[in-house]
Amino acid sequence: MVYDLIIVGMGPAGVTAAIYAKRAGLSVLCFDSSMIGGYLNYIDRIDNYPGLYGISGPDFAFKLFDTMKELNIEYYNKKVTKIENDGEYKKVIAEDNEYKCKNVIIAIGRKMRKLGLDKEEELLGKGISRCALCDGNFFKDKDVCVVGGGNSALQEALYLANICNKVYVIHRRDNFRADKELINRLTNKDNIEIIYNANVKELLTNKDVLSGVRLDNKVEIDVSGLFIYIG
């Protein structure tokens, strides 16, 4: 079969494209290597989507999954490894199979940016995390820091503040670029301390597990967890 459209990535972008394509009468096939909903599955709470104020990311993702089912949109939980031109068609290679189509939409989101520090990769899962919703509970009643100054960083810091003893928010500038409402909530939280104009310079370890961070202003902070949201 030759599909009119193959969509790679079933985050909010891919699912939206799939809904429009299906309703326009196209034959559509979708792929995701992980879960429908993409990054939504890792977000604690979403406050900026009309009609769904306060919904949890996983609940929103489940609604997308339901919509896909309701519209009978064909979907495979497979990783697409290659897309090739094949004469007048495109060939999409997903794990062990090839699928033909006329058009492809690539909606695979983006990779999260790293700090670029020594040991950063080794310490993933040993103190470093990029998902407060997934890993926050490992740091219950402990001190952690969050790096970043946008909506994601502030949202995650607020989530962690309900679990952890203390949350340091380390931001490289002297003001946040996040929404005003989030900034207000952050500054009113007793167990959040904001450190402006600072960058994490070094990751400190004890027995191969994160034990703290050293900032470029030479200050050292003892923390068990470091959550990175810098884009």
Ligand X SMILES: Cc1cc2nc3c(=O)[nH]c(=O)nc-3n(C[C@H](O)[C@H](O)[C@H](O)COP(=O)(O)OP(=O)(O)OC[C@H]3O[C@@H](n4cnc5c(N)ncnc54)[C@H](O)[C@@H]3O)c2cc1C
Q: Does 39 bind ligand X (CB under 6 A)?
A: yes
* Residue 170 near residue 147 (C-beta atoms within 8 A): yes
Residue 12's H or E segment, with its range, is helix 12-23
Q: Is 221 exposed, middle or buried (0-12, 13-18, 19+ CB in 10 A)?
A: buried
C-alpha–C-alpha distance, residues 227 and 149, integer Å: 12
Q: In the chain, what is the greatest distance between 2 CA atoms, to the nearest angstrom?
A: 62
89 binds ligand X (CB under 6 A): no
Q: How far is the CB of 187 from ligand X (least distance, A)?
A: 19
Q: Is 34 in the site for ligand X (CB under 6 A)?
A: yes
Binding string, 163-202, against ligand X, x = CB under 6 A?
----------------------------------------
* 131 assigned to active site: yes
Number of residues this chain uses to bind ligand X (CB under 6 A): 26
Given 86, 118, 134, 222, which residue is catalytic?
134
Shortest Cβ 177–ligand X spacing (Å): 14
31 binds ligand X (CB under 6 A): yes
Q: Binding residue for ligand X (CB under 6 A) from 43, 164, 194, 203? A: 43
CA atoms of 67 and 71, how far apart (whole Å): 6
Question: Is residue 63 a contact point for ligand X (CB under 6 A)?
Answer: no
> Is 18 one of the binding residues for ligand X (CB under 6 A)?
no
Q: Does 14 bind ligand X (CB under 6 A)?
A: yes
CB within 8 A of 104, min separation 6: which ones?
Answer: 5, 6, 7, 8, 83, 90, 92
Examine the residue annotation and report whether 216 is marked as an active-site residue of this protein. no
Nearer to ligand X, 38 or 136 (CB): 38
> Which tokens go with 214?
């050293």
* Integer CA distances (angstroms), 225 to 168, 190, 196, in order: 10, 19, 19
Report, in Å, the least distance between residue 207 CB and ligand X.
29
CA nearest neighbour of 39 among 54, 57, 53, 64: 57
* Binding-site ranges for ligand X (CB under 6 A): 8-14, 31-34, 38-40, 43, 46, 48, 79-80, 107-109, 152, 155-156, 229
| Catalytic residue annotation | 131, 134-135
